[in-house]
């Protein structure tokens, strides 16, 4: 078994510091691991796992920093902040893997490193703080803090979810901390479900066919997608079951005119093209250049031919396409994405409560645009991967209250009913997929 060394504190401190500036953080990690000659080695795997644990625990680690040094970590020297985060992870949370270490040596090596890369004063400060970290005992003050430490979620988020879900909230928190299965969707323009199942079974995977979307398959990770010939040929794509259900609910048909308002990186766009058997047109909008690039690659790889891409704010879609032109509109709105926390450990400390209102306003404006685009009897699916009511039922209710040219179309038979009748919600703790909300609306005139 690998034994953590003093140098590993330094390497991870450097990764965290670089990750402040370089995004995505995997690039920062790669650069530093390359510098220390550990890229691709077993040390790489171990330190990568520790790095992700730090990211998942970041809010709790920062609380300890506040306790120990008395100020918010964001106002500390960035090198010191990174070193303290790593030290807390190793000495408070990974005690059993670091008890063999000579703590005096760790303290000296890291302090010397900090003095070199920044200022001797910073090294000294670390040296003095070290003991308080090594002897720190993590004890929750109240029930919310117990949940915060146990499930690694911000206190405000815990309070809000308890308000929404009551006792059940703890089940959701547990689900956020379970390793999710890999979920893929077969591209029926290029392959059959059987072909992909056989391929995965030959690779030793136990495959489960989704009971909600029959072209979705699930299996335990890890899985190296780049090494899979079928994946590279676009015969299947990575997509969560809850995400794949969106296109099925909207039900675009061959030769229809479809608008995908927030399309990149294209998971739903290509699924809709598939359901349309590559006939008709999909106008796909997004503002994010990088995500649109990924979308172009995906479209090509999957053999999709009917997508027209617009790099622009979808709230201007009517100016480009005109009113009442669409049979179907997909609005997979930008959202806090908290329904995906189990897949994205870094996200939990980045979601900001004060952002919810701002994002709900954008969702409301996009939904109004989507309805303006619809022909009479045309349909729009409003969906998000957020669990907050403010981004889901509240947005739909607001629009329904203000407009008399649109009505809800009942959705049933999938997952659970939402907090607004005839809408649907997928919950990670109940349905073994990401959190999702769906409302289907129809233009009446």
Ligand X SMILES: C[S@@+](CC[C@H](N)C(=O)[O-])C[C@H]1O[C@@H](n2cnc3c(N)ncnc32)[C@H](O)[C@@H]1O
Choose between 68 and 314: whose C-beta lies nearer to ligand X. Answer: 314
- Helix locations, 135-237, DSSP H: 143-151, 155-165, 169-176, 193-202, 229-232
Nearest Cα to Cα of residue 74 among 87, 86, 88, 63: 63
User: Using CB under 6 A, which of 73, 123, 180, 266 touches ligand X?
Assistant: 266
- Interactions with ligand X, residue window 345-374 (CB under 6 A): none
What sign does the dihedral 146-151-156-157 (CA atoms) show?
negative
219 in Cβ contact with 208 (< 8 Å): yes
Q: Please report how close the Cβ of residue 303 comes to ligand X at its closest, in angstroms.
A: 17
46 in Cβ contact with 337 (< 8 Å): no
Using CB under 6 A, which of the segments 38-46, 120-128, 211-219, 266-274 binds ligand X?
266-274
Nearest Cα to Cα of residue 261 among 363, 181, 342: 363
Q: Please report how close the Cβ of residue 35 comes to ligand X at its closest, in angstroms.
A: 33
**267 is a site residue for ligand X (CB under 6 A):** yes
Q: Which residues contact 252 (CB under 8 A, 6 or more apart)?
A: 258, 272, 275, 276, 280, 282, 327, 328
**241 is a site residue for ligand X (CB under 6 A):** no
Q: Please report how close the Cβ of residue 353 comes to ligand X at its closest, in angstroms.
A: 20
**332 is a site residue for ligand X (CB under 6 A):** yes
Binding pattern for the stretch 171-210 against ligand X, x by CB under 6 A and - elsewhere: ----------------------------------------
CA torsion, points 89, 95, 101, 106, in degrees to nearest 10? 30
264 is in an annotated binding site: yes
Choose between 82 and 384: whose C-beta lies nearer to ligand X. Answer: 384
Catalytic residue among 302, 335, 383, 385: 385
Using CB under 6 A, which of the segments 142-150, 259-267, 343-351, 399-407 binds ligand X?
259-267
19 is in an annotated binding site: no
User: Using CB under 6 A, which of 69, 84, 91, 263 touches ligand X?
Assistant: 263
Nearest Cα to Cα of residue 335 among 417, 257, 377, 392: 392
Q: Please report how close the Cβ of residue 264 comes to ligand X at its closest, in angstroms.
A: 4
234 is in an annotated binding site: no
- Interactions with ligand X, residue window 286-325 (CB under 6 A): 286-288, 291, 313-315
User: DSSP label at 375?
Assistant: E
Using CB under 6 A, which of the segments 36-44, 72-80, 256-264, 301-309 binds ligand X?
256-264
Nearest Cα to Cα of residue 259 among 278, 277, 280, 285: 285
Using CB under 6 A, which of the segments 143-151, 175-183, 279-287, 437-445 binds ligand X?
279-287
Q: CB under 8 Å, gap of 24 or more: what pairs does 144-151 form?
A: 147/173, 148/59, 148/60, 149/60, 151/176, 151/177
335 is in an annotated binding site: no
Choose between 94 and 288: whose C-beta lies nearer to ligand X. Answer: 288
Q: Please report how close the Cβ of residue 271 comes to ligand X at its closest, in angstroms.
A: 8
Q: Strands 436-443 and 424-426: what pairing?
A: antiparallel
Using CB under 6 A, which of the segments 58-66, 77-85, 285-293, 340-348 binds ligand X?
285-293
Burial class (CB in 10 A: 0-12, 13-18, 19+), 438: buried
Residue 335 bears catalytic tag: no
286 is in an annotated binding site: yes
Q: How many residues bind ligand X (CB under 6 A)?
A: 18
**334 is a site residue for ligand X (CB under 6 A):** yes
**16 is a site residue for ligand X (CB under 6 A):** no
383 is in an annotated binding site: no
**240 is a site residue for ligand X (CB under 6 A):** no
Q: What single string gives the DSSP state of each residue in 146-170? A: HHHHHHT--HHHHHHHHHHHGGGHH
Q: Which residues contact 102 (CB under 8 A, 6 or more apart)?
A: none
369 in Cβ contact with 321 (< 8 Å): no
Q: Please report how close the Cβ of residue 266 comes to ligand X at its closest, in angstroms.
A: 5
Q: Please report how close the Cβ of residue 25 comes to ligand X at its closest, in angstroms.
A: 19
Q: Say whether the peptide bond before residue 24 is cis (omega within 30 degrees of 0).
A: yes
CA torsion, points 75, 79, 82, 87, in degrees to nearest 10? -110
Choose between 115 and 368: whose C-beta lies nearer to ligand X. Answer: 368
Residues marked active site are found at 385
Residues annotated as binding site for S-adenosyl-L-methionine? 262-268, 286, 313, 332
Residues lying near ligand X in the complex (CB under 6 A): 243, 262-268, 285-288, 291, 313-315, 332, 334
């Amino acid at each position: 078994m690998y034994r953590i060394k003093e140098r590993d504190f330094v390497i991870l401190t450097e990764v965290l510091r670089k990750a402040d500036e370089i995004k995505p953080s995997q690039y920062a990690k790669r650069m530093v691991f390359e510098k220390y000659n550990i890229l691709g080695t077993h040390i790489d795997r171990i330190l990568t796992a520790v790095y992700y644990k730090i990211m998942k625990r970041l809010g709790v680690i920062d609380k300890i920093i506040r306790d120990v040094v008395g100020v918010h970590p964001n106002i500390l020297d960035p090198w010191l902040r990174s070193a303290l985060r790593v030290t807390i992870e190793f000495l408070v949370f990974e005690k059993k893997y670091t008890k063999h270490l000579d703590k005096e040596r760790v303290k000296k090596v890291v302090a010397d490193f900090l003095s070199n890369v920044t200022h001797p004063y910073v090294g000294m400060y670390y040296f003095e703080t070290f003991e308080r970290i090594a002897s720190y005992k993590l004890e929750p003050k109240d029930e919310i803090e117990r949940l915060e430490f146990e499930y690694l979620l911000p206190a405000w988020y815990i309070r809000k979810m308890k308000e929404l879900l009551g006792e059940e909230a703890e089940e959701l928190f547990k689900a956020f901390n379970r390793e999710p299965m890999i979920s893929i969707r077969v591209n029926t323009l290029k392959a059959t479900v059987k072909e992909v199942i056989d391929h995965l079974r030959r690779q030793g995977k136990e495959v489960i066919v989704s009971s909600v979307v029959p072209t979705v398959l699930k299996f335990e990770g890890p899985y190296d997608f780049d090494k899979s010939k079928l994946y590279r040929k676009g015969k299947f794509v990575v997509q969560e079951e809850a995400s794949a259900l969106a296109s099925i609910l909207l039900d675009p048909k061959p030769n229809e005119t479809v608008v995908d308002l927030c399309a990149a990186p294209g998971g739903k766009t290509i699924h809709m093209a598939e359901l349309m058997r590559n006939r008709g047109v999909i106008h796909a909008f997004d503002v994010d250049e990088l995500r649109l690039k990924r979308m172009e690659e995906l479209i090509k790889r999957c053999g999709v031919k009917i997508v027209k891409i617009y790099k622009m704010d979808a709230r201007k879609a009517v100016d480009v396409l005109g009113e009442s032109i669409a049979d179907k509109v997909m609005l997979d709105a930008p959202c806090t994405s908290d329904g995906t926390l189990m897949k994205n450990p870094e996200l939990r400390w980045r979601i900001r409560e004060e952002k919810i209102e701002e994002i709900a306003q954008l969702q409301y404006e996009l939904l109004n645009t989507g309805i303006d685009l619809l022909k009479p009897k045309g349909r729009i699916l409003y969906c998000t991967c957020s669990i907050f009511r403010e981004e889901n039922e509240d947005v739909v209710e607001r629009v329904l209250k203000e407009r008399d040219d649109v009505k809800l179309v009942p959705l049933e038979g999938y997952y659970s009913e939402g907090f607004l009748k005839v809408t649907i919600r997928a919950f990670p703790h109940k349905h073994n997929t990401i959190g999702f909300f769906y409302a289907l609306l129809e233009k009446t005139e």
